[in-house]
């Protein structure tokens, strides 16, 4: 292939941005509800002992979910299912889905039983500092056992999502996590507060049971769409199915790779659980909560932009790989990365500048104090540095699976363990929980750099000149945008005779609007070609329809 052909601006199928728009809007709804869920926790539990225990307990089924469900299964299943659907048709793909579901139920049931029995040891390994605080370790163990069944529910939901995505159905599966939040909020409040006394449980226990209700809804909301496509579950078990073996082969390295990520989570929680207050020399209640509240804001752009683009891209590039159409594969991947940068880099700058007023507006109510706001916002600024890298990894890792290469992302993830531990050791003593957030950002950026270099080596070229030029333009526009956002936020605070929540209700939307407009016009001036498509991916289709009318 000629150099001119290789370096041209990527022109992928327009369906990727369109599908990403559908996913992005659905994920946005989920993230908004996730913020509401965290607002409930912040108001009723603040950032202390009970919420630390809940988060750590939920992290254990979450860890297993990432190992055996969302992370490993999603990429391996969607890749293989898309290829079977393309090559052998719907009937064979349906049989594969049933065989995977049957095997998954058996394996995860065994894992869940073992996790229930070994919960005390797991909690001690994950958060040893909790056992220095009376009652905190025991509460975490109890909540862990309550929430372990969540693993099976979310695994089934992930598989259903994979089937629908491979059939180009993106809206309902992306909304499924919104139903998790609805179920966990409504169920948690009902069981934890309205029915807690008759049931003989505490408020935090009720919220734990609410997560199971949410997990069930996340799976159940996808049933009608599966039935309309003609998919019915029938118990099937066949170790001789070559497609099932391919999924297992892809999942093996994928599990190791995701395990590396979870080891980093384990290490971060371990460090956070043992952070000591310099004034009292006692273990702090709060760092685990502050990090979680901060990362909730990170999940917004990661989910709405990074995960949305990755979800829409994976079935398309898997089909390209199945046809050995590397030119189309390369163009789709490069285009998806440009869209990720265009949406996530300005988001990172905005979160750094507006972190404190945003955190205060959303969370500073009830038991969540001004001190909690400062600690959460500082962690958010550190997390934001790695936002674009974190989202780009979401796009790059599944691309390797589509090429039937699970080994490369696995090795990169394993290497991240060393980087994460070294950064934690260097930063946590001086910067506390903020150092842990900074370490997470460094790991994300290193992972992205390694994956993009290795993908370039695998494909030969991926439009590197266009990527780097566009990256520079986006960074410049984002920097100027950040100055505009800071000025508007400052001027509103100075000029208006408002305080507290009322002031933030004016500050935050005004600064965001000014930032969005300035970024748009700056990208126009700099000639960022993908700008219109990025806008289309987050709602521009509706505006375009209005223009046509």
List, for residues 242-254, the tens digit of each pLDDT value.
777 777 777 777 6
pLDDT value, residue 535: 62
Closest C-alpha among 341, 351, 325, 321 to residue 452: 341
pTM of this prediction exceeds 0.85 = no
As a whole number of angstroms, the distance between CA 537 and CA 226 comes to 25
What is the spatial distance between Cα 182 and Cα 210, in angstroms, rounded to a whole number?
10
Contact 475, 345 (CB under 8 A): yes
Helix, strand or coil for residue 70? Answer: coil
Q: How confident is the model at residue 543 (pLDDT cuts 50, 70, 90)?
A: very low
Q: Which helix (H) or strand (E) holds 272?
A: helix 242-273
Quick: pLDDT tens for 438-470: 998 998 899 899 998 898 888 877 766 778 888
CA distances from 60 to 157, 417, 457, 493 (A): 18, 18, 37, 42
DSSP letter (8 states) at residue 279: T
Q: Which residue has the tokens 């734990």?
A: 208
Q: What's CA 404's distance to the chain center, in Å?
A: 23
- Which single residue is written with the structure tokens 């993830």? 413
Spatial CA neighbour of 52 closest among 372, 337, 323, 279: 372
pLDDT at 165 exceeding the cut of 80: no
Q: What band does 545 get if pLDDT is binned at 50, 70 and 90? A: very low
pLDDT score at 65: 65
Q: Dihedral, CA atoms, 506, 482, 30, 500, nearest 10 degrees?
A: -30
Please report how many Cα atoms fall inside a 13 Å half-sphere around the Cα of residue 109, on the Cβ side.
6
Alpha helices in 385-462, H assignment, sequence order: 387-402, 407-431, 433-459
Distance of CA 193 to the CA centre of its chain: 29
Phi-psi map region of 463: left, alpha, beta (phi>0 left; psi -120 to 50 alpha): left
Integer Cα distance of 160 and 484 in angstroms: 44
Segment among 164-168, 187-191, 442-446 with least mean pLDDT: 164-168
pLDDT digits (tens, 9 = 90+) for 345-372: 999 999 999 999 999 998 888 888 888 9
Buried b (16+ CB within 10 A) or exposed e, 369-400: beebbebbbbbbbbbbbbbbbbbbbbbbbbbb
- Other residues' Cβ atoms within 10 Å of the Cβ of residue 404: 16
Q: Label residue 58 exposed, middle or buried (CB < 10 Å: 0-12, 13-18, 19+).
A: buried
Q: How many CA atoms lie within 13 A of 547 on its CB side?
A: 6
Residue-wise pLDDT tens digits, 20-38? 556 666 667 777 888 888 8
Closest CA to 79 of 318, 251, 317, 311: 318
- 162: CB partners within 8 A, 6+ apart: 73, 74, 77, 78, 81
b/e map 523-535, b = 16+ CB within 10 Å = beeeebebbebbb
Percent of the chain with pLDDT over 70: 83
Q: What is the pLDDT of residue 540?
A: 43
If DSSP codes are grouped into helix, strand and coil, which group holds residue 447?
A: helix
Tokens representing 253 are: 């390295």
């Amino acid at each position: 292939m000629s150099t001119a052909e290789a370096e041209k601006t990527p022109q992928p199928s327009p369906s990727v941005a369109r599908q990403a728009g559908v996913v992005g809007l659905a994920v946005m709804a989920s993230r908004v509800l996730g913020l509401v869920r965290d607002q409930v926790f912040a108001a009723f539990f603040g950032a202390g002992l009970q919420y630390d225990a809940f988060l750590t307990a939920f992290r254990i089924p979450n860890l297993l979910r990432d190992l055996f469900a969302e992370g490993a299964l999603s990429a391996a299943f969607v890749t293989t299912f898309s290829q079977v659907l393309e090559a052998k048709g719907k009937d064979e793909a349906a049989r594969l889905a049933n065989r995977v579901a049957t095997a998954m139920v058996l394996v995860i049931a065994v894992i869940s039983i073992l996790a229930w029995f070994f919960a005390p040891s797991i909690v001690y390994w994950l958060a040893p500092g909790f056992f220095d605080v009376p009652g905190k370790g025991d509460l975490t163990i109890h909540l862990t056992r309550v929430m372990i069944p969540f693993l099976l529910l979310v695994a089934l939901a992930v598989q259903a999502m994979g089937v629908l995505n491979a059939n180009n159905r993106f809206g309902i599966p992306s909304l499924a996590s919104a139903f998790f939040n609805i179920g966990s909020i409504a169920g948690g409040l009902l069981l934890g507060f309205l029915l807690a006394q008759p049931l003989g449980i505490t408020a935090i226990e009720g919220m734990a049971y609410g997560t199971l209700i949410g997990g069930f809804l996340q799976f159940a909301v996808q049933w009608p769409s599966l039935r309309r496509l003609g998919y019915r579950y029938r118990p099937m078990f066949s170790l001789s199915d070559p497609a099932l073996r391919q999924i297992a082969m892809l999942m093996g390295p994928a599990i190791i790779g995701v395990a590396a990520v979870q080891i980093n989570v384990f290490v971060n929680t371990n460090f956070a659980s043992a952070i000591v207050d310099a004034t009292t020399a006692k273990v702090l209640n709060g760092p685990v909560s502050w990090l979680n509240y901060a990362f909730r804001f990170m999940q917004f752009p990661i989910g709405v932009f990074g995960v949305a683009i990755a979800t829409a891209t994976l079935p398309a590039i898997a089909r390209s790989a199945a046809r050995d159409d590397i030119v189309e594969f390369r163009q789709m991947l490069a285009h998806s990365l440009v869209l990720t940068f265009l949406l996530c880099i300005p988001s990172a700058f905005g979160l750094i500048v507006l972190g404190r007023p945003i955190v205060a507006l959303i969370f500073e109510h009830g038991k969540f104090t001004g001190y909690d706001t400062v600690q959460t916002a500082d962690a958010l600024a550190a997390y934001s540095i790695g936002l674009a890298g974190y989202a780009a990894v979401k796009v790059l890792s599944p691309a390797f699976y589509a090429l039937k290469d699970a080994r490369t992302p696995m090795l990169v993830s394993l290497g991240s363990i060393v980087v994460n531990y070294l950064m934690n050791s260097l930063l946590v003593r001086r910067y506390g929980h903020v150092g842990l957030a900074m370490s997470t950002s460094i790991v994300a950026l290193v992972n992205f750099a390694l994956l993009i270099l290795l993908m370039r080596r695998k494909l030969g070229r991926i439009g590197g000149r266009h990527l780097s030029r566009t990256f520079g333009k986006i960074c410049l526009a984002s920097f100027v945008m950040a100055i505009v956002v800071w000025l508007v936020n400052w001027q509103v605070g100075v000029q208006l005779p408002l305080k507290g929540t009322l002031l933030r209700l004016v500050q935050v939307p005004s600064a965001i609007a000014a930032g969005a407009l300035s970024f748009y016009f700056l990208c126009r001036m700099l000639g960022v070609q993908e700008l219109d498509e990025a806008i289309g991916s987050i709602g521009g289709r509706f505006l375009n329809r209005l223009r046509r009318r």
